[in-house]
Structure 1
Amino acid sequence: MFDQFFYQDKGLFLQSLHPVAALSYAGVLMVLALLFTNPLYLLGLLLVIILAVAAVDGLAAWETYLKISLGMMLLVIIINPLVVHAGETIIWWGPRLPVFGRLTVSLEAICYGAAMSVRLLAIISIFCLYNLIVHPDKVLSLLARFASRSALVLSLATRMFPAMIRQMENIREVQVVRGVDFHAGTLKERLPKYAALMNILLLSSLEDSLEIAEAMQARAFGSGRRSCYRRDTWRPRDSLCLGGSLLALAVAVYGQAKGCSTFSFYPELDYLIKGPMTVIVLIIIILALSVPVVLSWGWQRCPYFKAKI
């Protein structure tokens, strides 16, 4: 049930990228999600993220993230107009409260809450995309070149939760085969069953930690210079994806500096499209960020193109 939240190697294009290229792509998406305030740019960025998730066959996992995000988005849209009293276009006058004063709901506050909810969904979707395309061991291997011991601790920490989830499911299946029904009885009767399950999980985790320590000792960890088990090759696909990410970042910075991609909510709503440059900058950013998606489409359908990149 929890496997969709973790990395699964499916042999897809975005999963074959070099860790630096994949991290750069996800990092640029995150920076742009935090940088943009214009709702059009946030929606365009969200569209690119969804296309990238679809390219890595992760829409089923993204739907779970979406269900989690909808509640938080709704809270942002409701709470922000009630708390923030800025904005000149008042659409509702509420009662006067002793501490907060008179409640007012402005159109600007509603639009700001809606835009921030889209940003929240984009950020959560970026984390979903990161889990789908970036292998955690590859990322930590990059850090191991600078701090091997810290990278080892991070690697063990990131692998602990998914490993314990899978191990708990295995133990639960064994207990069910032996006749233990975790759904039968009252809460008081079910607690000892779950306590026994957690006890077995704890013992298994201790045994696994001893096996990891023995494996590290057998591999002479800490006895000398660290060797590299696997080296990732930098290929043309990585250059294209990295170039598209850097181009999108550069154009986004230019748009922010020139005011093409900015948007102000208070005291009055700004224009979504301030001129032709607003549309041009948006199109360039979307096309640059869509490079991995387009390459993934060609990589799956054209063997010659796949061999070249």
Structure 2
Amino acid sequence: METMRVGIFDELTFFSRVHPLVAAGYFVELFTLLLIFNHLLLTLALFAGLSGLCSWYFNRQKVLSTLKGVGSLMVLIWLFNVVLNQTGAHALWVGHLGSLTFRVTQTAVLYGLTMALSLGGMILAFVLFNGVITTPKLSYLLFPVVPRLAMLLTISLRMVNLFTQKFRRLVMLQKTRGVVVSEGSWRLRLQKTGRLLRILLIDSVSSAMETAVLMEARGFGSKKRSHYQTYRWQAMDGAFGLVSLVMFGLVIGLRTFGWGWTGDITQFTLINGSDGWLAVSVILFTSLPLMGEVGYRVCEN
């Protein structure tokens, strides 16, 4: 659960002051870039850029713990690709188990690393999104358009945080009773964790029903909902939005010419001739918030 929320931005930073519409547009562009490339160098550039942004804006100890959790999941994805993907002509290792033959190919290793970095980048991008697009900003963006969906998202995000807090409290309470979830065999650990999750599930359903009754009592949905916090468009919003859109259009244009994508998985290589320039463009795009921080501080001083 630590990967879900590392923290919230300092209100004095540039990225926290950007208009919610501009920030949401930047994240749409960022998630799109994470989906349209399958070259190792490009996914590595995106992952490194997002790691740098998270380290800049959030507490580094929490970011390190998040990266540890993300890293274990990335290793698991890589292992699955190496074991299940038997394609590719260049075999790095061949093993036999009875009548079965297992091959570790260069294609499987490179493709597994690419998918692992892409998944890790997605998680870090969500962590960043969760830090800058706070509940008031999410409400400001969605309530005028889809109020029911906006309410569902805000309640869900809040419930995730409450679920995590309650689970930690239950674990601490069980320790006072001599029951340690992290001790014993795997089967015993699963049984202990299952009991705690069952308690949390019952409590969550009860809280959800109570919230629904309270919302109905307050007349939710009977009329258009207002929001208590407004955001005004400023010059820096237009400048940041325009620059990010131009950079995004440049990268998408290069992608339409076939850069950053290999259609045949068996043709995977460590680096292609055009990957270097595209990787520079991707790093510049992910660095736009930091460039905005520099410009913002210069203007403020």
TM-score by length of 1: 0.75
Counterparts in 2 of 1:36 and 1:3: CA distance versus 1, 3 Å: closer
Distance of 2:253 and 2:4 partners within structure 1: 37
The 8 Å contact of residues 55 and 297 in structure 1, kept in 2 or not, is answered as no
- Report sequence identity in percent: 20
Q: Tell me the amino acid that sits aligned with residue 244 of structure 1.
A: V
Q: Tell me the amino acid that sits aligned with residue 74 of structure 2.
A: M
Q: What is the CA-CA distance between 1:88 and the residue it aligns to?
A: 0.9
Q: What is the CA-CA distance between 1:35 and the residue it aligns to?
A: 0.9
Pair member with larger Rg: 1
Matched, 1:26 2:27: yes
Counterparts in 2 of 1:107 and 1:231: CA distance versus 1, 3 Å: same
Structure 2 residue matching 1:85: 3-state secondary structure: coil
Name which of 169, 175, 182 aligns with 2:176: 182
Counterparts in 2 of 1:33 and 1:202: CA distance versus 1, 3 Å: closer
Q: How does 1:26-105 map to 2 (within 5 A)?
A: 26-95=27-96, 98=99, 101-105=100-104
Partner of 1:306: 300
Kindly report the root-mean-square deviation, in angstroms, between the aligned alpha carbons of the 2 structures. Answer: 3.8
The 8 Å contact of residues 88 and 267 in structure 1, kept in 2 or not, is answered as yes
Q: What is the CA-CA distance between 1:135 and the residue it aligns to?
A: 0.3
Q: What whole-Å deviation, never above 9, does each CA across 1:253-277 have from its counterpart, x for those lacking one?
A: 21122223334674344472425xx
Q: What is the CA-CA distance between 1:126 and the residue it aligns to?
A: 0.8
Structure 1: 5+ residue stretches without partners = none
Q: Tell me the amino acid that sits aligned with residue 247 of structure 1.
A: V
Partner of 2:120: 121
The 8 Å contact of residues 34 and 118 in structure 2, kept in 1 or not, is answered as yes
Structure 1 residue matching 2:176: 3-state secondary structure: coil
Counterparts in 2 of 1:172 and 1:49: CA distance versus 1, 3 Å: closer
Distance of 1:107 and 1:214 partners within structure 2: 56
Partner of 1:295: 292
TM-score by length of 2: 0.77
More moved, 222-231 vs 108-117: 222-231
- Higher relative CO (Cα under 8 Å, sequence separation at least 6) belongs to 2
Partner of 2:10: 10
Distance of 1:123 and 1:207 partners within structure 2: 29
Counterparts in 2 of 1:86 and 1:242: CA distance versus 1, 3 Å: same
Partner of 1:213: 214
Distance of 1:43 and 1:243 partners within structure 2: 26
Partner of 1:284: 281
Q: Tell me the amino acid that sits aligned with residue 108 of structure 1.
A: T
More moved, 265-274 vs 52-61: 265-274
Matched, 1:274 2:273: yes
Aligned residues: 287
Distance of 2:265 and 2:215 partners within structure 1: 61
